[in-house]
Amino acid sequence: MAEEFKRLKRELVYKGAIVNFYKDTIQVANGNVVEWDFIGHQGAAAVVPVRADGRILMVRQYRNALDRYTLEIPAGGLNGPDEPTKDAAARELEEETGYAAGKMEWLITVRTTVAFCNEKIDIYLATDLTRGCQHLDEDEFIHVEAYTVQELCDKILSGEIEDSKTIAAVMSYKAKFGQP
């Protein structure tokens, strides 16, 4: 099916710190030539940190794109395209929450906006947590909060949590581990 579409050109329009914006020239299935936007992202990792009491650690932080605070699972971009996502997830867990995981396992992979972006986020489950201290970047101001799975599901279904990686992670965790 992809053979019906042919990329003729990819032109870098803007190179950013997190994403690169391109204009793609594509020959589509009927032979017409069109231009599509493409946002290139080098990938990210996220983590569902579950404490011994079953509560999930969440981070509350300001998000410029929404001009408000959000409640999310800890996450961050890869330091390079070759960085293992499991390593990045462990790093982000420690940086953002101050906790380290004794055990981490893959939970789910999400593609955030497939219509125009290649961002891929591998999400891991972190257990056997030990507390340390946060190592925030100079522009990060993060508050760590703990919730039950049901509290998070209620926040998702009420619209309080809209972040796609967090919704996918919490619902996958609930489905996979049957958490109330």
Q: What is the pLDDT of residues 58-74, one digit of tens each?
A: 999 999 999 999 999 99
For residues 12 and 76, state if they share a domain.
no
| Confidence at 3, pLDDT banded by 50, 70, 90 | confident
Q: Kindly tell me if the per-residue pLDDT of 91 is higher than 90.
A: yes
The answer to whether the predicted template modeling score (pTM) of the entire model surpasses 0.85 is yes
Question: Residue 15 is part of which domain span?
Answer: 2-41
| 105 flagged as catalytic | no
Query: What's the residue count for the chain?
Result: 180
For residues 58 and 35, state if they share a domain.
no
* 88-97: b (≥16 Cβ within 10 Å) or e: bbbbbbbbbb
Nearby residues of 62 by Cβ (< 8 Å), 6 or more positions away: 68, 69, 70, 141
Number of domains in the chain: 2
Give residue 77's identity as a one-letter amino acid code: G
Which position among 72, 105, 138, 162 bears the catalytic label?
138
